[in-house]
Chain A
Amino acid sequence: MIIYGVALLSVCLVLGQYIGELLGDFIGVQANVGGVGIAMLFLVIACSSSRFKSLTEGASGIGIKFWSAMYIPIVVAMAARQNVVAAVDGGLLALLAGTTAVVVSFALVPVISKIGTQSEPLPPLGSDAGDNNKGES
């Protein structure tokens, strides 16, 4: 049943967000600390455990894959609801502060990536079908 996969996904997100809120409350900040990341860990663990097999394989898995494939459209909608006007209106100071922070952070990616065991580059995306997310055909 597709809904089983969707329900598993939902339970992971709600649990993760709750723990993220508790964590934020615990260390005394007005923010959710890692809720989504924790939810992702739950889903990864559920997927690799045989106990949850019936919720992650077959039709149930399609329920999760659908939302994974909806990711890019949702990000497009997210882009369309950003407060771009405020970013542009922030003037030179905001522009410089934001831009420099991004440039310096970009430059640090290869430096910090050298820490620990290295992972292999992913195989190149297929020319055509690769444009789609996994789950789309």
Chain B
Amino acid sequence: MELLESVFIKNGLVVAFAAVGIVVWFSYFISNKLTNGRIHGSAIAISLGLVAAYCGGALTGGKTGVADIGLLTGVGLMGGGMMRDFAIVATAFGVHIGELKKAGLAGVISIFAGVIVSFIVGAAIAVMFGYTDAISITTIGAGAVTYIVGPVTGTAIGASSEIIALSVAAGLVKSILVMIGTPMVAKYIGLNNPQSAMVFGGLMGTTSGVAGGLAATDPRLVPYGAMTATFYTGVGCLMGPSVLFLIVNAIY
């Protein structure tokens, strides 16, 4: 048993390939047999991944889900930022430059609209919960932008660590909900062409959420959504501690 464990740990990334392969196979099996293909196999696989992440986190108390379990540390590397970005860029292979140009303006508008709208929503809910100081309201609002913008903004304007943790949690909820919710609402929001995918990426902005949500909807839309989403966090980090904080500060 100890020998087996050490083999698993020594070959972490390879074990991750096998484990994810089994999960994906099982998900497509369920998708075909139980839902008759109505629920996409990749949507099931991503949901299973999230459930596993919850179990991993609950069992170990760590922050990286399944990857905190010794035997499955390789999942952390396979699903980490480096591999994710590498694969996202690869999906751009075969993208038409014309489609990108067509959605250029709408894409740029969506990034700013997305940051501002999410911020206002987050800030309004912070106010509803009784926060009255500009620093807390801004930090929670920034958390609703993404879980990176929240702590960056909070740190910059001097928020307490509880508020920063809260903003990270709000951002995580957003990212996870985008992963699960996108395939369900895709039909109703016209998410079936490159242009709306670019707008979607700009509005949602959470790279993980957009990556997961579009993968579960239609993998061909991934490069378009990912393209705009990658600018969102930067714009959010730019606006959060500056313009947005000043506006909130002027009101409170």
Contact partners of A61 in chain B: CB under 8 A:
93
Cross-chain contact A112 with B109 (CB below 8 angstroms): yes
Q: In the assembly, what is the distance between CA of A41 and CA of B92, in Å?
A: 8
Nearest A residue to B122, CB-CB? A97
The reply to whether B169 and A81 contact each other, CB–CB distance below 8 Å, is: no
B111 to chain A, nearest CB (A): 10
Smallest Cβ-Cβ distance to A9: which chain B residue: B90
Contact with A along B88-122 (1 / 0, CB 8 A): 11111111010110111110011001100110011
Contact B220 A80 (CB under 8 A): no
> Whole-angstrom distance from the CB of B124 to the nearest CB of chain A?
8
Q: Is the CB of B189 within 8 A of A106?
A: yes
One digit per residue, 1 when the CB lies within 8 angstroms of any chain A CB and 0 when it does not, for chain B 20-63 equals 11011000100100000100111001111110111011100001
Q: Which secondary structure dominates chain B's binding surface?
A: helix
Q: How far is the CA of A118 from the CA of B199 in the complex (A)?
A: 12
Does B234 belong to the interface (CB within 8 Å)?
yes
Residue interface mask A38-59, B partner, CB < 8 A = 1: 0111011101100000001000
The 8 Å CB contact of A31, one of B54, B78, B237, is B237
CB distance from B29 to the nearest CB of A (A): 12
Where chain A touches its partner, the secondary structure class is helix
Q: Are B212 and A79 in contact (CB under 8 A)?
A: yes
CB of A101 within 8 A of CB of B174, answer yes
Q: Tell me which of B53, B185, B195 contacts A80 (CB under 8 A).
A: B53
- Check if A85 sits within 8 Å of B84, measured CB to CB: no
A70: interface (CB < 8 Å): yes
Q: How far is the CB of B18 from chain A (nearest CB, A)?
A: 11
Residue among B17, B85, B114, B208 with max Cβ neighbours from chain A (10 Å): B85
Interface residues of B (CB under 8 A from A): 16-17, 20-21, 23-24, 28, 31, 37, 40-42, 45-50, 52-54, 56-58, 63-67, 75-76, 78-80, 83-95, 97, 99-100, 102-106, 109-110, 113-114, 117-118, 121-122, 125-126, 129, 140, 143-145, 148-149, 152, 165-166, 168-179, 181, 185, 189-196, 199-200, 202-204, 207-208, 211-212, 215, 218-223, 226-231, 233-238
| Residues of A bordering B, CB below 8 Å | 9-10, 12-13, 16-17, 20, 23-24, 27-37, 39-41, 43-45, 47-48, 56, 61, 64-68, 70-102, 104-110, 112-113, 115-122, 125, 127, 131, 133-134
Q: Which 5 A-B pairs have the closest CB atoms?
A: A90-B169, A98-B173, A77-B79, A33-B234, A79-B49
13 contacts between A and B (CB under 8 A): A34-B230, A37-B229, A76-B45, A78-B79, A79-B50, A84-B172, A90-B170, A97-B144, A98-B172, A105-B118, A112-B113, A113-B106, A115-B106
